[in-house]
Amino acid sequence: MTTKHDNQRVAVFVDVQNMYYSAMNLYKTKVNFESILRTAVSNRKIIRAFAYVIEADVKGEKNFHDRLTKIGFEVKSKELQIFYGGAKKGDWDVGIAMDVLRMAPKVDTIVLVSGDGDFADLLKYVKSLGCRAEVISFGKTTSSRLLPETDDFIDMSKDTKKFLIKQ
């Protein structure tokens, strides 16, 4: 297992919806994305940081997206899909995976901020390319499939003062 060092080039990929709903369900509060980014980079060289959001046409959404940009994220957004019958879908799994695959040859470390087990194979693959695979998420809502594929896991539940916004 490799360790973190100052010369590592890092790319960060944040599944905003996954983090938002995990924080709301577990703690009834919001996530501190600035603290997440700082922790993900951890004195290394940030190459790019992406935040993936779903546009749900809710109050304050634009301000939130602007704040993510100000923090240092490149915000990627897509509209919430509403299907006949009222079912709603909004996820970035394939988009995140494609960006990770595009960035992996250019960086030393991929930091995924999501607990979604669908990313387990992706992390296994980037490790086969020689990248470190790190995950930051809430332990209680992180898939057990994800953890074996990580070189480092930061459980945000263990430091809620740092990772959550006090209401």
* Per-residue confidence (pLDDT) for residue 159, from 0 to 100: 96
Instruction: Answer for the pair 23, 31: CB distance below 8 angstroms, yes or no.
Output: yes
**Cα–Cα distance measured from residue 150 to residue 132, given in angstroms and rounded to the nearest whole number:** 8
pTM of the model: 0.93
Q: What is the pLDDT of residues 102-161, one digit of tens each?
A: 999 999 999 999 999 999 999 999 999 999 999 999 999 999 999 999 999 999 999 999
> Residue 80 — very low, low, confident or very high, per pLDDT cuts 50/70/90?
low
Q: What is the pLDDT of residues 26-65, one digit of tens each?
A: 999 999 999 999 999 999 999 999 999 988 777 778 899 9
Domains of the chain from N-terminus onward: 9-165 (3.40.50.1010)
Query: How many other C-beta atoms are found inside a 10 Å radius of the C-beta of residue 22?
Result: 21
* Per-residue confidence (pLDDT) for residue 81, from 0 to 100: 64
> Residue 1 — very low, low, confident or very high, per pLDDT cuts 50/70/90?
very low
